[in-house]
């Protein structure tokens, strides 16, 4: 039986951190093939939104609904710092049942780094490794928190191409980034547009 088409929806979402209400009345629905860019200044609540969408934090109000598996790219990659990159990724590729681990390594320009311990990798190299892990999960719904940070221009282009391919194949991508993104047919919203009035915050 064919899987139902993926979607990701937020209905009237509100999230707090500590005493502060970060955003409220945030609603959207992303269908198969959609890419959405969430912008916002440091501390505006992008990570909080991503974590709520991933089900890692309980929203203060509202609901998240989703059809389809989820892959999350966040600051922590989960890669063992003491293992060579190839082995650290192979652990996750095994769990994820990745079909083409060599192809994923090559696509993210990691092949030549396979023997380098994860802790020696540069920030950008670690980010590309985390992206490889995410791609290997073959989940239709991608949540990416600051995927461009630490990447040079060429690698930023790589991320855009990956997301574009994913969406062209019927996937969904929600990308939180304070950096500009250039993807065709991408929607976007600023998290500040959902900030509560000062007396509510
Ligand atoms: N455990 C906590 N208790 C209270 N406030 C917190 C907690 N964690 C984060 N915050 C605050 O919540 C706000 C939103 O944080 P969040 O990480 O979602 O922002 P962000 O938009 O992702 O920022 P950045 O672009 O800097 O990563 C920040 O002002 C932060 O200081």
The tokens describing 20, both together, are 């502060």
Q: What is the pLDDT of residues 156-170, one digit of tens each?
A: 999 999 999 999 999
Three-state SS string over 88-154 comes to: HHHHHHHHHCCCCHHHHHHHCCCHHHCCCEHHHCCHHHHHHHHHHHHHHCCCCEEEEECCCCCCCHH
| Contact present, 18 and 157 (Cβ < 8 Å) | no
Residues 6 or more apart from 56 whose CB is under 8 A from it?
none
Regarding the beta carbon of 97 and ligand 1, being less than 6 Å apart is answered: no
| Closest approach atom of ligand 1 to CA 48 | 18
Q: What is the pLDDT of residues 96-121, one digit of tens each?
A: 877 788 899 999 999 999 999 999 99
pLDDT over 90 (residue 53)? yes
Rounded to the nearest angstrom, the distance between the alpha carbon of 133 and the centre of ligand 1 is: 25
Q: What is the mean pLDDT of the chain?
A: 93
Regarding the beta carbon of 38 and ligand 1, being less than 6 Å apart is answered: no
Banded pLDDT at 154 (limits 50, 70, 90): very high
Regarding the beta carbon of 125 and ligand 1, being less than 6 Å apart is answered: no
């Amino acid at each position: 039986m064919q899987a139902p088409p993926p979607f990701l929806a937020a209905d009237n979402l509100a999230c707090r951190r500590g005493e502060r209400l970060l955003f409220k009345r945030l609603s959207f629905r992303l269908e198969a093939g959609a890419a959405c860019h969430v912008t916002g200044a440091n501390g505006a609540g992008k990570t909080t939104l991503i974590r709520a969408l991933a089900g890692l934090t309980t929203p203060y109000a509202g609901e998240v609904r989703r059809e389809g598996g989820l892959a999350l790219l966040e600051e922590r990659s989960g890669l063992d710092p003491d293992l060579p990159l190839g082995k650290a990724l192979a652990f996750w590729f095994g769990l994820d049942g990745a079909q083409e681990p060599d192809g994923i390594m090559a696509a993210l320009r990691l092949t030549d780094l396979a023997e380098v311990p994860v802790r020696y990798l540069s920030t950008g190299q670690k980010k590309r490794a985390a992206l490889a892990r995410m791609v290997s999960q073959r989940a239709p719904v991608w949540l990416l928190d600051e995927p461009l940070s630490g990447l040079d221009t060429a690698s930023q282009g790589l991320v855009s191409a990956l997301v574009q391919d994913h969406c062209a194949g019927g996937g969904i991508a929600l990308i939180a980034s304070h950096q500009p993104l250039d993807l065709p047919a991408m929607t976007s919203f600023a998290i500040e547009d959902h900030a509560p009035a000062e007396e509510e915050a």
